[in-house]
């Protein structure tokens, strides 16, 4: 009897949102690569074959393992100072993802809160915040980031602060527009009719409906933060020059591209894959979480 009951039991259905995420190839590919990068960053001391700061001029300019003259254990070769390129690449993942998560997260919180206030309350609140956004966006973002880091001083905290100060406007504009659009929907009118308070409508009704756009924009912003950190590292305004960063490796490889092209190619490839993965993940999440786009 028990076997008959189990056999006749209907199969458990997946949650619609989970099914949509699993059906979106861009979420699977982008999210899979990003998850792998986070694992690399977390377990960098266990994965890296060598100390990324260790120098050995006797082992300088060793080519990758697939090239003639390669040395065992140096899979991506070494740079001019004999430092292992693969180990520096792995440890550089830590800096890139730290900036991506913290800077993008803080920019998202600040910009989204201001965007919600501007879009929901309107009036002078909207005018003040919108004018502030217009003034902020009048400055070239890369130039402003370099200027801010130069004023704040080089360091990881300065890079994060510069990205937050610059990129909060992106979240503010998008969230404001989405809030205004959602505020005109019938479900908001129904909530007002029932007697919900304004803040209650904003938190319980509007915020959940703008989450698909928010999540997608957050993922895209992480990719932008990785690029900004690489740019600042390239010009020497991020962490110290000894600390492995992709931008610093690109700057060093550019100077010796004719002798050691692998020093330049490896971080460029890593940067490209990371940014594309964040973009694919963001676009996939936007499509999977938005019920209108799923149709």
Q: What is the pTM of this model?
A: 0.85
Q: What pLDDT was estimated at residue 23?
A: 67
Taking the C-alpha atoms of residue 202 and residue 187, their distance in angstroms, rounded to an integer, is 12
Nearest C-alpha neighbor of 162 from the set 215, 106, 114: 106
Would you call 183 exposed, middle or buried from its count of C-beta atoms within 10 A (0-12, 13-18, 19+)?
A: middle
Stretches in the chain below the pLDDT threshold 50: 1-6
Q: What pLDDT was estimated at residue 135?
A: 87
Residue ranges per structural domain of the chain: 24-294
Q: What pLDDT was estimated at residue 222?
A: 92
Sign of CA dihedral 190, 192, 193, 194: positive
The CATH architecture one would assign to domain 24-294 is: Orthogonal Bundle (1.10)
Centroid of chain to Cα 222? 2
Taking the C-alpha atoms of residue 192 and residue 197, their distance in angstroms, rounded to an integer, is 7
Q: What pLDDT was estimated at residue 128?
A: 92
């Amino acid at each position: 009897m028990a076997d008959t009951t189990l056999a006749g039991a209907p199969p458990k259905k997946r949650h619609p949102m989970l099914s949509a995420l699993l059906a979106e190839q861009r979420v699977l590919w982008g999210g899979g690569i990003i998850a792998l990068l986070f694992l690399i960053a977390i377990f960098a001391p266990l994965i890296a074959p060598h100390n990324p700061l260790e120098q050995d001029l006797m082992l300088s300019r060793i080519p990758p393992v697939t090239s003639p003259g390669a040395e065992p254990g140096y899979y991506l070769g070494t740079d001019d100072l004999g430092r292992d390129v693969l180990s520096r690449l792995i440890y550089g993942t830590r800096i890139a993802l730290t900036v991506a998560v913290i800077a993008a997260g803080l920019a998202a919180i600040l910009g989204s809160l201001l965007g919600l206030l501007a879009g929901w309350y309107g009036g002078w609140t909207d005018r003040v915040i919108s004018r502030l956004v217009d003034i902020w966006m009048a400055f070239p973002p890369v130039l402003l980031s370099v200027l801010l880091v130069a004023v704040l001083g080089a360091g990881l905290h300065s890079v994060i602060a510069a990205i937050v100060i610059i990129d909060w406007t992106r979240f503010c504009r998008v969230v404001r527009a989405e809030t205004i659009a959602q505020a005109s929907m019938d479900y908001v009118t129904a909530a007002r009719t029932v007697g919900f308070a304004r803040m209650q409508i904003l938190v319980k009704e509007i915020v959940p409906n703008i989450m698909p756009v928010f999540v997608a924009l957050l993922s895209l912003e992480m990719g932008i933060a990785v690029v900004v950190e690489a740019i600042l590292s390239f010009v020497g305004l991020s962490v110290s020059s000894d600390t492995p960063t992709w931008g610093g490796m690109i700057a060093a490889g550019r100077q010796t591209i004719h002798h050691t092209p692998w020093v330049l190619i490896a971080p460029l490839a890593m940067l490209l894959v990371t940014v594309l993965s964040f973009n694919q993940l963001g676009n996939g999440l936007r499509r999977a979480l938005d019920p209108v786009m799923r149709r």
